Homo-oligomer: A and B are copies of this chain.
């Protein structure tokens, strides 16, 4: 069993193409013995975004704090806010965007552990 708080989890800035002002933490992952899924937390500063991309695995999300949008396959932006859940299916194009000018957007993003 592992119990931890985000305050105690190392945070790294993402540097991949298409990412801006986005930080990653991994409170539950394969190094903890997670058999199937890894639980990541992303923090997007105001104006921050993840890549606008698709991949053959799903995301399961919970918005911890802030507000923003998920840009979908057809370019539409669906607003999200603290307390929302999202399921992004395999191969659905998507992007997370922090649309706030002042607050961070922070959300859980679960993926198969091979993709953590």
- Contact at A85–B35, with CB atoms within 8 Å? no
- Considering the complex, give the chain B residue whose CB is closest to the CB of A37: B37
State which residues 68-102 of A face B: CB under 8 Å.
70, 72, 78, 80, 83-90, 92, 94
- Contact at B1–A89, with CB atoms within 8 Å? yes
The answer to whether residues A85 and B28 also contact, given A36-B58, A37-B36, A62-B39 and a CB cut-off of 8 A, is yes
Counting CB contacts under 8 A, is A14 at the interface? Answer: no
Binds B, one of A3-11, A16-24, A42-50: A3-11
Q: For the complex formed by this chain, how many copies does it contain in all?
A: 2
- Known contacts A1-B89, A3-B86, A33-B87; 8 further A-B pairs (Cβ under 8 A): A1-B70, A1-B92, A1-B94, A4-B85, A7-B83, A34-B58, A36-B36, A36-B112
Interfacial residues, chain A to chain B (CB-CB below 8 A): 1-7, 27-28, 32-37, 39, 57-58, 60, 62, 64, 70, 72, 78, 80, 83-90, 92, 94, 108, 110, 112
